[in-house]
Amino acid sequence: MNMNVLAFGAVSDESFNSTTAFNEAIRRCSESGGGVVDVPAGVYLCGTILLQDNVLLNLQPGSRIIGSTDIRDYTGTQRKCAWGGAVNCCGDQFNFQDNPCVALILADRKTNCGVIGTGTVDGRRSTKFGYSPEKGRPFLCVFSECRFVTLRDVTLTNPGMFTVYGLNSTDVTIDGVKIRSADSWNGDGLDFDGGKRVTISNCNIDAGDDAIGLKALTPGEPCEDFTITNCVIRSRNWGAIRIGPESAGDMKRIAMSNCVFHDCGDGFKLQLTQDAVFEDLSFDNILMNEVLRPFFITSNRYNMSSKVPLSRPKAGTVRRLRFSNISAVMRPTSFIPEYNLRVYANNFISALPGSVVEDLTLSNVHLIAPGGGTKEEAERTVGHGDMFDFRNMYPEHLTNFGGDYPSAVLYIRNAKNVRMLNCTFEAQEYDERCAIAAECVENLFLRYAVARNVAGLLRQYRCDGLSVAESEGAVVGFTKEQAEGWEKFREMTLLVDARLEEAALACDAALALPDTESVFDTPVFSIEKNERRQFLFIPSFEGNFDLYVNGELVTDWHMPPCYVFPYPFTFELTPYLSDGENRIEIRPRGECKLLSKIFIKLS
């Protein structure tokens, strides 16, 4: 059955709100057994359009849906967002954890629904339209817990948040869609929080954030069986495809092929942060140009989900990654204005000490890096800080990952069973570093590998089971001075890990207490002792400090400058308190700055 929105009162007039007419046409079509609701050429002002079972909204040539600029015209999902308190991407509108996903086009727990046709959906929420709390930041299209969803041939532009967001939906087909969100803050192209059997093909995406993002914020709701093919992707400072870092659930059986990436911050950005599994991920026949970091693969520990009670979950598992027929020309740097930060080119594959990226294959991969690395960089004796967690920004933008990588093209560490077959690593400007730097890699196999315009093929340290065959370029080890420096840095890394673990456990204990609390604005204050457990709780600070109770130093909190403290500082005061009044003093060390009020949480 075909119905037309004009028959239900829709008007092609930018000052007339046609939301009611659209929703009535869709409802009547669904109740009549389903079919297509046609949107003729014209411009239609709408708030939330609610898709229903067995209905496709058909945007005919020349049709354009424009989003209302009044957030009161929008509604959201029954399911609330699952980001934890560390994430609040919607600015003044709302915190994700406490609110649903508000959208211009919304399907909530529906079957056989979608949007087709060559018309346009324009959210009018990009930078050029300005932001205010009254306008809000709605997503453009949201499909929440739906089955058999179709998006085909439409143009989607100017979202307030992600352009398309699938929430644990299954059997999703996205084909021939054009996305223009480069001017939108958090303007991801196609994002999914869980989902199964998703096909993305023939899309052209120019995104303001990650172009394609797979997330899993709820344990037991994985992303599985995704295929992505024949897409052209741009994302100026962010990822062409990003898997994670929201990873409370697994990511399995994801295949991407026959795509072109251009002008991107990262190509393959895979980030496992929680106790989940990334496995059987395949990427084939990908061409990249002007991509800062074609490979950025990490495994570390921090929690982004309100569905997970721990501040610092256990490390997960990354295994069986396949990259084949990849060609990439890298750009030297990217400047990210949101963070006033400059990021430098390289390829980075790393897990935290004690875990590994396992069973990784690169075959027929050709990477062209900017080069220009110095002899001092090649001979550095201090390691790179591990990416422990985050506080105000994601780990890939921490300043310790600057232009001084120990490799010209690829830096890999804490990995196992790595094969590089018929790969070429090249620098445009001669580089004093080796093409590859490998540290703590077990069973590293290179065959038919070629290094061009660099000092050597491989600089390795603590690589057991190393095999290099029929390759071009020198293989070198560490000098005694480098090995000693690296070992000292590794010892520091393990101490940092232990301190973070201790802090995370204390934070979990404090957060589990009731909300009874005392609040202080000053780093010097007095409290009365009682029979309850008491935790000092500082939600945000920068730098290092000493904590004194009644004149006694009870902890000297300091972190090496290459690390960012990811949790609220939490310390159990009870064992140090005497009867009566107690004097608490936080003495800043150096540039330490408290960014929030101090709480004493009571059990």
Give burial (CB, 10 Å; 0-12/13-18/19+) of 578: exposed
The per-residue b/e assignment along 319-338, b for 16 or more CB within 10 angstroms, e otherwise, is: bbbbbbbbbbbbbeebeeee
Distances (CA, A) of 558 to 223, 311, 383, 571: 39, 20, 19, 14
Task: Give the span between the Cα atoms of 272 and 317, in whole angstroms.
Answer: 8
**Residue 441 token pair:** 């890699």
Q: For residue 245, is pLDDT > 50? A: yes
Q: For residue 204, is pLDDT > 80? A: yes
First to last CA, the chain: 62
pLDDT of residue 55: 98
Distant-in-sequence, close-in-space partners of 602: CB < 8 Å, separation ≥ 6: 513, 514, 516, 517, 518, 530, 532, 533, 534
Amino acid at 568: P
Domains in the chain, please, with CATH? 1-187+197-209 (2.160.20.10), 212-229+236-477 (no CATH), 484-602 (2.60.120)
Task: Give the span between the Cα atoms of 538 and 593, in whole angstroms.
Answer: 11
Q: Write the secondary structure of 334-364 as one string of H (helix), E (strand) and C (coil).
A: EEECCCCEEEECCEEEEECCCCCEEEEEEEE
Spacing of C-alpha 474 from chain mean position: 36
Q: For residue 97, is pLDDT > 60? A: no
Q: How many other C-beta atoms are found inside a 10 Å radius of the C-beta of residue 32?
A: 12
Q: How many other C-beta atoms are found inside a 10 Å radius of the C-beta of residue 479?
A: 11
pLDDT of residue 563: 66
pLDDT of residue 403: 55
pLDDT tens figures, 476-530: 999 999 999 888 888 888 888 888 888 888 888 888 888 778 889 889 999 988 8
Mean residue pLDDT of the chain comes to 91
What whole-number percentage of the chain has pLDDT above 70? 93
3-state secondary structure of 281: strand
pLDDT tens figures, 520-547: 988 999 998 887 888 998 887 777 899 9
pLDDT of residue 210: 97
Task: Give the span between the Cα atoms of 205 and 188, in whole angstroms.
Answer: 9
pLDDT tens figures, 540-579: 777 789 999 999 999 988 877 666 666 778 899 999 999 8
Task: Give the span between the Cα atoms of 302 and 325, in whole angstroms.
Answer: 33
> Model's pTM, two decimal places?
0.93
Contact 156, 211 (CB under 8 A): no
